[in-house]
Structure 1
Amino acid sequence: MAMTSERKSRLLGAGEIDVSFEFFPPKSEKMESALWSCIQRLAPLEPEFVSVTYGAGGTTRERTHNTVVRLVDETDMKPAAHLTCVAATKDEVDAIARDYWERGVRHIVALRGDPISGPGSVYEPHPGGYINAADLVAGLKRIAPFEVSVAGYPEKHPESLSVGADIDNLKAKVDAGADRIITQFGFDNAHYLRFLERARAAGIWIPIIPGIVPIHNFKQVAGFAARAGASMPSWLARRFDGLEEDPATGHLVAAAVATEQVMDLVDEGVKKFHFYTLNRADLVYAICHLLGLRPHAGSAPAKIRAAS
């Protein structure tokens, strides 16, 4: 009988995998508590960095800023602040970036951002603002030696005219100084692997980290996917069929699905993952455990103060 090679994912040891986590800023005191409970749970895994999402408009902007600064002040994790081109002049964006640098933030996730008028709207640069993500990356690099991550779209950005145009736009962001690409989440690894191959063929050699979202709620995540241009495979939908009123079983299925996805990527040689946590730690923590991550001896949890 022929011997089969052992899967890489079954041979994982501690320290072989790097992870990063994405959080979104809380809108209420209850959500604030949920966020920091999630951070406290995941912090001992010592992620490479954690990112905090950002939207156009003063309220969201302030919530992002407050969360990022609190991460700097109260934890040992390295926060990456999302920053977009939407609804702000270059001077306004530059002022935010400078403030982050002064506060000790060294990593920015530079994004064009979605039109403030909502899905289906045509994006138009803000008067006097950065034109797109590549323009923003170049601007950030002029301000300070930030580490800059940008977005990649394995199934192409919904607004891109073609896959080729999408790769050209990605190359422009890299040429402007981007240090890392984090992909939009997806559920079919074939899309990520083809995207990786296209990017390398285009001369893009910086790290390209797959985005993973555990499916805590299938209907909710399917909605996110539809808006982001990420396909939801029919086989995946069937796995959650009939579980709408059975969240406990749905949770078990979600853990199995996400574990299968990341382990298959490990077998393809992937060693870094970016988890969209949706401010929930349970599934992410379990998957990281299976990837070989363990709380380091003597690691302290994130300090949590009462919400003001």
Structure 2
Amino acid sequence: MNSQRAYPKSFSFELFPPKTEAAELALKNTVAQLRQINPSYCSVTFGAGGSTREKTFETVVSIQEGMGIACAPHISCIASTRSYIREMLDAYREQGIKRIVALRGDMPSGMLTTGELRYANELVEFIRQETGNDFHVEVAGYPEVHPQAANAEKDLLNFKRKVEAGADSAITQYFYNAEAYFRFIDDCEKQNINIPIVPGIMPITNYTQLARFSELCGADIPRWIRKRLEVFGDDRVTIRTFGIDVVSKLCRRLLEQGAPGLHFYTLNQSDATLAIWHNLGLHGNNPA
């Protein structure tokens, strides 16, 4: 993991666009709380087939202009056209956005065709063709293999294509097995993939929700964690305490062994992320 140690540390978090006025107010409070970690940026998700396009744009502008935190909107290419993506890129560039998270995305329900761009590497290539180096382009990595990949080798080659197309850095899917991340980094180095690969971190606060997410995205919940969470049942307080301890230890090990930062999947909540942050003794974007 020596290559990852060479990169500056980046601490960031992910949000999703609010659907109601109450959720919008709650999100503003969450972002205000998360400002204390002095994030490198925050990312804002983009619904399947652009279903949250306007809300994603509004959320990004609101946070970057109103709260002074750099934002990285997600852009997905599934079910999109080149002109549609070009329009989004132009709009974000006009707003002073400097970072994009480029993803393949999910196929919307009822859609039968993928659109003009089928894969994330094609999207990255298109962004570079249209905007040069105007954006820092993030892509996704899968230490435990993308759920739709034929095998680990082909998944790694797909990741390499995104990097070769012009990706600047990557954020991984969340995981709870540090060895999966370290092996992924080793495999990337063997492929001469030389970009920062930041671990994605999902705090554990709700077992039912976590199990559902993990089933969809292919993230493994280690048996010992799953069995402990099953015993806790609906005891949210105990689940949260246990989850913060487990994820804090995971984060500490990742940082100690060279990970170039952490990217928290907050689910628009600040408490668990901040508890983990304080457990790590992190202050002002630097380890204590």
Equivalent in the alignment of 1:71: 63
Equivalent in the alignment of 2:256: 267
8 Å CA contact 1:133–1:173 kept in 2: the answer is yes
Equivalent in the alignment of 1:18: 10
Equivalent in the alignment of 1:131: 118
Divergent runs of 4+, >6 A: none
Equivalent in the alignment of 1:108: 100
Equivalent in the alignment of 1:241: 230
Instruction: Give the CA deviation at 1:44.
Output: 2.5
8 Å CA contact 1:98–1:143 kept in 2: the answer is no
Letter in 1 for 2:106: D
Instruction: Give the CA deviation at 1:269.
Output: 2.1
Aligned residues: 276
> What does the per-residue CA deviation read over 1:71-124, in whole Å, with 9 as the maximum and x for residues that have no partner?
121122110000001222111111011100001111000000111128xx9x84
The normalised TM-score by structure 1 is 0.85
Q: Aligned ranges for residues 218-257 of structure 1 at < 5 Å?
A: 218-257=207-246
Equivalent in the alignment of 1:284: 273
Instruction: Give the CA deviation at 1:59.
Output: 4.5
8 Å CA contact 1:17–1:293 kept in 2: the answer is no
Instruction: Give the CA deviation at 1:245.
Output: 2.5
Q: 1:162 aligns with which of 141, 145, 151?
A: 151
Equivalent in the alignment of 2:38: 46
> What does the per-residue CA deviation read over 1:175-212, in whole Å, with 9 as the maximum and x for residues that have no partner?
11000010000111111111111111111010011100
8 Å CA contact 1:17–1:292 kept in 2: the answer is no
Partners of 1:131 and 1:57 lie apart in 2 by 12
8 Å CA contact 1:22–1:277 kept in 2: the answer is yes
More helix, by proportion:
2
Letter in 2 for 1:274: H
Residues 1:27 and 2:19 are matched in the alignment: yes
Residues 1:117 and 2:109 are matched in the alignment: yes
Inter-CA distance 70–81: structure 2 relative to 1 (3 Å threshold): same
Letter in 1 for 2:123: L
Identical aligned pairs, as a percentage?
39
> What does the per-residue CA deviation read over 1:138-185, in whole Å, with 9 as the maximum and x for residues that have no partner?
111122221000000111111111111111111110011000010000
> What does the per-residue CA deviation read over 1:34-55, in whole Å, with 9 as the maximum and x for residues that have no partner?
2111100011321111100101
Equivalent in the alignment of 1:149: 138
Larger radius of gyration: 1
Partners of 2:170 and 2:31 lie apart in 1 by 23
The normalised TM-score by structure 2 is 0.91
Letter in 1 for 2:264: F
| Alpha-carbon RMSD | 1.8
Instruction: Give the CA deviation at 1:57.
Output: 4.5
Q: Aligned ranges for residues 184-223 of structure 1 at < 5 Å?
A: 184-223=173-212
Runs (5+) with no aligned partner, structure 2: 1-7
Letter in 2 for 1:154: P
